[in-house]
Protein backbone atom coordinates (compact mmCIF):
# COMPACT_ATOMS: atom_id res chain seq x y z
CA UNK A 1 0.00 0.00 0.00
CA UNK A 2 2.73 2.50 0.92
CA UNK A 3 4.67 1.75 -2.25
CA UNK A 4 1.52 2.34 -4.27
CA UNK A 5 1.05 5.77 -2.67
CA UNK A 6 4.67 6.69 -3.36
CA UNK A 7 4.32 5.53 -6.95
CA UNK A 8 1.24 7.69 -7.45
CA UNK A 9 2.94 10.73 -5.94
CA UNK A 10 5.95 10.37 -8.24
CA UNK A 11 3.67 9.81 -11.21
CA UNK A 12 1.73 12.95 -10.30
CA UNK A 13 4.97 14.95 -10.15
CA UNK A 14 6.03 13.59 -13.52
CA UNK A 15 2.62 14.30 -15.05
CA UNK A 16 2.73 17.85 -13.71
CA UNK A 17 6.09 18.43 -15.31
CA UNK A 18 4.90 17.00 -18.61
CA UNK A 19 1.76 19.13 -18.52
CA UNK A 20 3.66 22.38 -18.11
CA UNK A 21 6.31 21.12 -20.53
CA UNK A 22 9.11 21.97 -18.15
CA UNK A 23 11.75 19.83 -16.60
CA UNK A 24 11.44 19.24 -12.90
CA UNK A 25 14.36 20.04 -10.71
CA UNK A 26 16.02 17.18 -8.87
CA UNK A 27 15.48 18.86 -5.52
CA UNK A 28 11.75 19.15 -6.21
CA UNK A 29 11.40 15.43 -6.87
CA UNK A 30 13.50 14.34 -3.91
CA UNK A 31 11.93 16.98 -1.67
CA UNK A 32 8.45 15.66 -2.40
CA UNK A 33 9.59 12.10 -1.79
CA UNK A 34 11.17 13.12 1.51
CA UNK A 35 7.93 14.86 2.55
CA UNK A 36 5.93 11.62 2.28
CA UNK A 37 5.17 10.17 5.69
CA UNK A 38 6.19 6.63 4.75
CA UNK A 39 9.60 7.71 3.45
CA UNK A 40 10.88 9.30 6.65
CA UNK A 41 14.47 8.24 7.19
CA UNK A 42 14.74 6.65 3.75
CA UNK A 43 17.03 7.77 0.97
CA UNK A 44 14.77 9.57 -1.57
CA UNK A 45 16.98 8.36 -4.41
CA UNK A 46 16.42 4.73 -3.40
CA UNK A 47 12.67 5.33 -3.10
CA UNK A 48 12.62 6.82 -6.60
CA UNK A 49 14.61 3.87 -7.96
CA UNK A 50 12.13 1.42 -6.43
CA UNK A 51 9.19 3.26 -7.97
CA UNK A 52 10.89 3.36 -11.36
CA UNK A 53 11.47 -0.41 -11.21
CA UNK A 54 7.74 -0.93 -10.70
CA UNK A 55 6.88 1.49 -13.50
CA UNK A 56 9.15 -0.33 -15.96
CA UNK A 57 7.11 -3.46 -15.28
CA UNK A 58 3.77 -1.68 -15.71
CA UNK A 59 4.03 0.78 -18.60
CA UNK A 60 5.20 0.59 -22.20
CA UNK A 61 8.69 1.50 -23.37
CA UNK A 62 7.27 4.47 -25.29
CA UNK A 63 5.57 5.85 -22.21
CA UNK A 64 8.76 5.39 -20.20
CA UNK A 65 10.70 7.40 -22.78
CA UNK A 66 8.05 10.16 -22.58
CA UNK A 67 8.42 10.26 -18.81
CA UNK A 68 12.21 10.24 -18.95
CA UNK A 69 12.13 13.15 -21.38
CA UNK A 70 10.71 15.53 -18.74
CA UNK A 71 13.12 14.49 -16.01
CA UNK A 72 16.48 16.09 -15.28
CA UNK A 73 19.42 13.89 -16.37
CA UNK A 74 20.41 12.83 -12.86
CA UNK A 75 16.92 11.51 -12.14
CA UNK A 76 16.63 10.02 -15.63
CA UNK A 77 19.75 8.00 -14.78
CA UNK A 78 17.93 6.32 -11.86
CA UNK A 79 15.78 4.26 -14.23
CA UNK A 80 16.76 0.58 -14.45
Q: How far is CA 53 from the centre of its chain?
A: 10
Nearest to 49 by CA among 33, 62, 60, 61: 33
pTM score above 0.75: no
CA distance 28 to 19: 16
Q: If pLDDT is split at 50, 70 and 90, which confidence band does 21 have?
A: very low
Of 18 and 59, more confident? 59
Give the mean pLDDT of the chain. 75
Q: Looking at the predicted structure, is the pLDDT value of residue 58 above 80?
A: yes
Amino acid sequence: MRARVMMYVLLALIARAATVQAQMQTGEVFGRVTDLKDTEGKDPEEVARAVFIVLVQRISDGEIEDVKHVLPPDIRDLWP
